[in-house]
Chains A and B, each alone.
Chain A
Amino acid sequence: MMHPTLAWVDYVIMLIYFAFVLGIGFALKRFMKTSTDFFLSGRSIPAWVCGLAFISANLGAQEVIGMAASGAKYGIATSHFYWLGAIPAMVFVGVFMMPFYYGSRARSVPEYLRLRFDEKTRGLNAITFAVMTIMSSGISMYAMAKLIQTLHIFDALFLRLGIPLTWIFDLSIIVSALIVLGYVYLGGLTSAIYNEVLQFFFIVAGFLPLVLLGLKDVGGWQGLTQKIDPRFTHVWAGMSHASTSPLGVEWFGLAMGLGFVLSFGYWCTDFLVIQRAMAADSMSAARKTPLIAAVPKMVFPFLVILPGLIAIALPVPTATEPGTTVSGAGIIPAKLDHATGKPILNHEGKPELDYDLAIPNMLLHYFPNGMLGIGLTALLASFMSGMAGNITAFNTVWTFDIYQAYIKPSASDRHYMWMGQFATFFGTVISIGAAYMATRFNNIMDMLQLVFAFVNAPLFATFLLGMFWKRTTGHGAFYGLLSGIGAAAVHHGLTLPAGSGAGIKGGWITLVHTYPSEMAQNFWAAIFAWTTCFLATILVSLGTKPRPDEELAGLVYSLTPHSASDNLPWYKRPPALGIAVLLVALLLNILFR
């Protein structure tokens, strides 16, 4: 079947959507009076809005494209990223950690680190985080432009307008950057949050009919299970040993590495998501933010992973380019070598599949004009909200934790708000630079992402000790973090995933151990980094002078009076909601075991 070309109705849908996105920015402009309005939405957003923004900020390109790709590659075991990873971590941050983030009145996660520990710990976190957000935003932009180019969806429009096709990449980057810059500059965090909520509903509107059509086509869940590898429809199949697990990692590495270290590290310490909860209008709303977010998060595998499974189950032989008859799996094409035009083979001699095309190809396969406009807009919207989330986190950390902390400490509120808007602008410009860097120097971007992984892996140990052990000191936190980062790097230098050579994949010191998969290597690196940071923080803390108790009130669990949850009935309190969420997650694990 030929891919459809976009019709006027699809362009009209895109235009209306982006008019609304910018319109929200303009409508919110008049409410942006102080820096609190701009960076923290005046702490006035209701819980359900924060909750949807909380997951939506993470629902960027990586989530939508990556999870479907992973679903096609590994099967439904991918939902461990949700049911084992994200959900328990979101419950933990809502029930146990939010009282300190929100209650300390810190304006950012690095600022909490300064209140709890010291300046150097804040500096380390703020600077690495700022660099990371800008680079991620650039990578998101690059991925979107690349995808638009690969799918040829705008080719007809460009030809009609007489614009050379080589400009598609550049125009995609510039137009998306301008839209994001526009609405964040005008309406600050509120604008980003509102647009994230809008995008959340749009993703559902675009992908739910896709899943329904796909399931009907393959004969429902029953039909799907008969068409693909049986291990692909069971979450826990083969997990007792690394060699039989589709992910190449056994249950312990999975539960500790992904479920504990990586997921808690991301959902409990990453300012990109925590910022959404800090904007809530009350303590109980802030605590409920991640719990409310957990509810749609639980059913997201059906929206983003299932299309990947359906894509490999479809009985369609594919040729990626005219004249070749390379068959991929289902509607997922094989990757082609650009020089020879032949499929790239992996070390087993099978063609490498371009899994990232699972979702886009599903959209093009099932949607007629009209719905196609909705589906593609949902995809573009997810790229843009990923960028906007990073930009809002960047402008806040830059203004409060770098500019105010080290460059200009006592300026007027108006000045910091101006700086926030200026940071939005130059942050976007640097992101564009990062996007172009990714086109020329792919290795540099891979290397940067690797370094970020080292930096992030131990973070949760620092926060856990900081919040729940009052004896933890600033020196302990700082040197603990450094040794955790070091441990992650050394682990990487000593190990390799199967089938790779020494270099960017690891093994650059000497090869000590080979993991069955890259995922196994990542999970175990996280476990080593976390444990090292945890132990080093304790040891250094015991050898250094603790801070007096009265300075730590509101920052540490044992020294904070417990509020009675605003006199809510027991079933409306965060712990009860948290337990309910965990029970449903457990049920999902049992149903799809």
Chain B
Amino acid sequence: MTLDIRLPIGLLFAILGALLVAYGIASDPAIYERSLKININLWWGLVMLVFGGLMIVFGRRKRRSTE
């Protein structure tokens, strides 16, 4: 099997993380009333972005070492 699952996972999390961060910066602070005044989109978006990036890095490194 030549498709490493880490690449699609990494890509999905990176894209959605970036989207959340952008939305977190642009959105009206009033919507964070429900999330205890924490800009959860910004923070969790960053977490997802970092996780996605790590998955892509590991997925690509593995591919190079097996070739």
A residues in contact (CB < 8 Å) with B: 1, 4, 9, 12-13, 16-17, 20, 23-24, 27-28, 31, 41-42, 44-45, 49, 190, 194, 197-198, 201, 205, 209, 213, 216-217, 365-371, 374
Contact = CB atoms under 8 A, between A and B. Distances in A.
11 contacts: A9-B23, A13-B16, A20-B12, A31-B2, A194-B3, A213-B38, A365-B34, A366-B35, A367-B40, A368-B32, A374-B16
A213 B43 CA distance: 12
Interface of B: prevailing SS: helix
Contact of A370 (B2, B23, B36, B51): B23
B8 A194 contact: yes
- When A and B form their complex, which 5 residue pairs have the shortest distance between CB atoms, in order from nearest? A370-B41, A368-B31, A370-B23, A20-B12, A44-B1
A13 B23 CA distance: 12
A41 B5 CA distance: 13
Contact of B9 (A13, A41, A198): A198
B28 to A, nearest CB: 9
A224 to B, nearest CB: 15
Given A213-B40, A369-B27, 10 more contacts: A31-B2, A194-B5, A205-B13, A209-B44, A213-B36, A216-B36, A368-B34, A368-B40, A369-B31, A370-B40
A324 B51 CA distance: 45
Interface residues of B, number: 28
A487 B17 CA distance: 53
Contacts of A49: 5
A545 to B, nearest CB: 44
A371 B1 contact: no
Nearest to B30: A368
Given A44-B1, A190-B1, A371-B41, A1 B34 contact: yes
B20 interface: yes
Nearest to B26: A9
A28 B3 contact: yes
Contacts of B31: 4, 368-369
A370 B43 CA distance: 12
Interface of B: 1-3, 5, 8-9, 11-13, 15-16, 19-20, 23-24, 27, 31-32, 34-36, 38, 40-41, 44-45, 48, 51
Contact of A31 (B1, B12, B51): B1
Contacts of B3: 24, 27-28, 31, 194
B18 to A, nearest CB: 11
Contacts of B5: 49, 194, 197-198
A42 B5 CA distance: 16
B34 A366 contact: yes
B48 A205 contact: yes
A4 B34 contact: yes
A371 B12 contact: no
B35 A371 contact: yes
Contacts of B23: 9, 369-370
A365 B33 CA distance: 10
Given A365-B34, A366-B35, A45 B1 contact: yes
Contacts of B13: 201, 205
Nearest to A23: B8
B8 A24 contact: yes
A232 to B, nearest CB: 23
Contacts of A1: 34
Nearest to B21: A370
Nearest to A41: B1
Nearest to B55: A201
A217 B33 CA distance: 12
A13 B8 contact: no
A368 B3 CA distance: 35
A31 B3 CA distance: 9
A369 B8 CA distance: 24
A104 to B, nearest CB: 23
A216 B43 CA distance: 15
Contacts of A4: 31, 34
Contacts of A213: 35-36, 38, 40
B31 to A, nearest CB: 4
Nearest to A197: B5
A51 B8 CA distance: 18
Given A31-B3, A41-B1, A368 B41 contact: yes
B10 to A, nearest CB: 10
A95 to B, nearest CB: 26
A13 B8 CA distance: 15
Contacts of A45: 1
B67 to A, nearest CB: 17
A16 B12 contact: yes
Contacts of A194: 3, 5, 8
Contact of B19 (A9, A27, A198, A366): A9
A276 to B, nearest CB: 13
A1 B31 CA distance: 12
B9 A201 contact: yes
A45 B51 CA distance: 22
A28 B48 CA distance: 25
A367 B34 contact: yes
B23 to A, nearest CB: 5
A199 B35 CA distance: 24
A1 B2 CA distance: 49
A374 B38 contact: no
A20 B9 CA distance: 9
A326 B18 CA distance: 41
A16 B51 CA distance: 17
Contacts of A23: 8
Given A366-B34, A370-B23, A209 B40 contact: yes
Contacts of A31: 1-3
Contacts of B44: 205, 209, 371, 374
Nearest to A10: B23
Contacts of B16: 13, 16-17, 374
Nearest to B17: A205
Contacts of A20: 8, 11-12
